[in-house]
Amino acid sequence: MSYDEHGIAEALSALPPAPAAWVRAAQELPLLRRVLDEIVVRIEQDDEFRRRVVADLETALQAEGYDPDPALVEALRHRLAAE
Amino acid sequence: MSEEAQLVGRCRTGDQQAWRELVEHFSRYVYAICMQGFRLERHAAEDVFQEVFARTYEHLDRLRNDDAIRPWLAQLTRRLCIDCLRASRRESVTDEGDVEAEGSESWDEGLMRLDEALDVHEALAALGGDCREILDRFFARDESYKAIGDALELPAGTIASRISRCLSKLRDELEGRRPRLSASSGSVTR
């Protein structure tokens, strides 16, 4: 490309920022994955916790000190449905 | 090795800060492919955006050449956009005719334009002072002189001249990077 100012301005305009919440959610993937793995292990090893999760996922997570963030809840539901 | 390849290498070691930087670095690129290339509706674009990064995180080890992260991401985003359009049955989509169906620009032309734009944004990130903020706010975020002045605590009347000066600095930065850009674009498959 030629680096005249018009071309540079067009290039800058071509990439507006993605919504901040989308970026943040993608950045938190590793953390989400780690918490998810931890919860799944607990569900597999603790029958009482499993029973409470099946009855009311959000309440069970809150009771165990997890933040029932919608992304976590959705990912967990998806994971449990797949198992 | 390009800066992008170095970032991929750091992600592989489990460096979470590197992952955050990688997402930040490519977020506009992936977003632009979804919104400009395929004109997805917002909720569909969000699903594709998250899926792209989820798969990237999961499959980063499968990338044979770290320098190919950008075209790899572009193809992944493209494939997921096509899947999304097919699933929504909004229109009949073919692998080759999708972008052409939406406008006059072909996939290759559109991607080349976005690749060049990302190169310019990389150069912008290297600029010091207020230039990065001023140019990004004016051109990419479409903010007014007043909004920029308010946000950066600068007199609104000076913004136009600062934009001009910053564009000039950015042009110099890009000219300085030209050999590097040429070299890196030759090392990946586009």
CB within 8 Å: B27 and A30: no
Angle formed by the axes of helices A29-45 and B42-59, nearest 10°: 70
End-to-end CA distance of chain A: 51
* Residue B36 touches chain A, beta carbons under 8 Å: yes
Do the Cβ atoms of B85 and B98 come closer than 8 Å? yes
pLDDT at B103 exceeding the cut of 50:
no
Q: Min CA distance, A48 vs chain B (Å)?
A: 31
Q: Min CA distance, A73 vs chain B (Å)?
A: 15
Q: Min CA distance, B92 vs chain A (Å)?
A: 27
**C-alpha distance from residue B20 to each of A30, A59, B8 (Å):** 10, 30, 11
Determine the pLDDT at residue B159.
96
CB within 8 Å: A16 and B142: yes
Residue B87: which of B51, B141, B130 has the closest Cα?
B51
Chain A hits for B136, CB-CB cut-off 8 Å, are 12, 17
% of chain A at pLDDT higher than 90:
51
B188 pLDDT band, cuts 50/70/90, is very low
pLDDT at B118 exceeding the cut of 90:
yes
Domain limits, CATH 1.10.1740.10, in chain B: 1-104
Chain A hits for B140, CB-CB cut-off 8 Å, are 12-13, 15-17
Interface test with A, best of B11, B20, B33, B48 (most A CBs within 10 A): B20
Instruction: List all residues 6 or more positions away from B21 whose beta carbon is below 8 Å from its beta carbon.
Output: B7
Do the Cβ atoms of B172 and B143 come closer than 8 Å? no
Do the Cβ atoms of B107 and B37 come closer than 8 Å? yes
Q: Where do the DSSP E strands lie in A1-83?
A: none
- Average pLDDT rounded to a whole number, residues B124-146: 93
CB within 8 Å: B50 and A26: yes
Q: Is B93 left (phi over 0), alpha (psi -120 to 50) or beta?
A: beta
Residue A77: which of A54, A46, A48 has the closest Cα?
A54
Determine the pLDDT at residue B169.
94
Which residues of A have a CB under 8 Å from any CB of B?
1, 3-5, 8-9, 11-19, 22-23, 25-27, 29-31, 33
Domain limits, CATH 1.10.10, in chain B: 127-190
B69 pLDDT band, cuts 50/70/90, is very high
* In the block, residue with structure tokens 């970032």: B7
What is the reported pTM? 0.80
pLDDT at A31 exceeding the cut of 50:
yes
* Residue B26 touches chain A, beta carbons under 8 Å: no
What's the mean per-residue pLDDT of chain A? 89
Chain B hits for A18, CB-CB cut-off 8 Å, are 27-28, 30-31, 49
Q: Is the dihedral of CA B110, B113, B118, B124 positive or negative?
A: negative
Minimal Cβ distance to A30: which of B19, B30, B50: B19
Residue B131, Cβ neighbours under 10 Å: how many? Answer: 20
Amino acid residing at B85: L
Do the Cβ atoms of B53 and A26 come closer than 8 Å? yes
A26 against A29, higher pLDDT: A26
Determine the pLDDT at residue B162.
96
Determine the pLDDT at residue B100.
43
Structure tokens at A66: 């997890």
Q: What is the ipTM of this complex?
A: 0.82
% of chain A at pLDDT higher than 70:
96
Q: What is the CATH number of domain B127-190?
A: 1.10.10
CATH match of B1-104 with 1.10.1740.10:
yes
Which of A25-34, B27-36, B81-90 has the highest mean predicted lDDT (pLDDT)? B27-36
